[in-house]
Amino acid sequence: MRVVVTGAAGFIGSNLIQGLNSIGVDDVIAVDDLSEGLKYRNLLGAQISDYFDKDEFYTRFAKGELGQVDAVLHEGACSDTMEHNGRFMLDNNYRCSKNLLDACMTQGTRLLYASSAATYGGSDTFREEPRYEQPLNVYGFSKLLFDNVVRRMLTRAPQQVVGFRYFNVYGPREQHKGRMASVAFHHFNQFYEHGRVKLFGVYGGYAPGEQRRDFVFVDDVVAVNLWFLQNPDARGIFNLGTGRAQPFNDIAMATVNAVRVTKGEGTLTLPEMLREGLIEYVDFPESLVGKYQCHTQADLSRLRDVGCDHVFVDVASGVGNYVKWLNHDKLTAAT
């Protein structure tokens, strides 16, 4: 099998390559923009057959110059929810994806792509239906615009097309994302550097730290992508989360306790952490008022209906594994 992964040096893309390699797929064409050169680290140890800069790839692939490609796993996008340049966002996330879709359909190549739970925005129901899609920013709109194109062509598509609405993904190889990295990543670094974790206080009718998200470990995201790759008759747009909404307090607790365990210290409850100053609540920022999802929870009905019965880990287990990786990464970087 010959597979292209766009956004290959990014967070989910690099983990997908590791997952592909684990099932024996090593004819992998990696596509990215390595202007930020340090992202190369995410590809260390990966088995790839070629690398293309994103500008070169899209042009050559559309012309059929790369030969037979079985599937494209399209993770390349601007994922900055605070980016307000709509022209830039639509060019990167919509037009690029639309051109890629057209090329895939012409060449008989399957397309599995990254959508986002940001398509739901202000909704309180997270089901893959237009009536629940109310994006709060141009990022969410750019993803929804492409999803709607896919919806219109699914019944006549000559081969598999799958969109994954990722919820709050966390895990290894996201260090390059800066402020857009997961809360688990930021909590680890805050606790490592300052001995405490910061969370938003009261907002949206939620008590401090009790805003809830569907946090999904990147290994689970990879597993679901690979399931669809191995089941080419399954197609459509699917939520990819755990189906559980957990408060940010749970992420903070899991991070602090996982770090404590690595130091041979005992675990603590939330009240104990608050008393010891290990968790601190800060005022909700004005810049996010009206643009922030206080509750997300993937409806997995459609995913289960097509036969994907993958079991997702909870926050305590996922964050525990992630902290081990982060500790190892810090030790490796220091030597």
The neighbouring-strand residues paired with 6 are: 31, 74
DSSP state of 92: I
Give the list of residues 6+ apart from residue 167 with CB closer than 8 angstroms, or none. 117, 213, 214, 215, 216, 239, 240, 241, 242, 296, 298
Provide the annotated active-site residues. 139, 177
In degrees, to the nearest 5, what angle opens at C-alpha 25 toward C-alphas 20 and 29? Answer: 85
Q: How many helices (H) and strands (E) does the chain have?
A: 11, 13
Give the list of residues 6+ apart from residue 207 with CB closer than 8 angstroms, or none. none
118 near 139, Cβ under 8 Å?
yes
40 near 67, Cβ under 8 Å?
no
Q: Could you give phi then psi for residue 52, rounded to 5 degrees? A: -130, 140
Cα separation, 239 vs 116, whole angstroms: 8
The neighbouring-strand residues paired with 113 are: 74, 163
Token duo for residue 91: 């060019």
Token duo for residue 183: 């809360």
Going by C-alpha positions, the residue among 164, 189, 300 that lies closest to residue 245 is 300
Say if strands 236-240 and 161-166 run parallel, antiparallel, or are unpaired: parallel
Cα separation, 76 vs 14, whole angstroms: 11
128 near 90, Cβ under 8 Å?
no
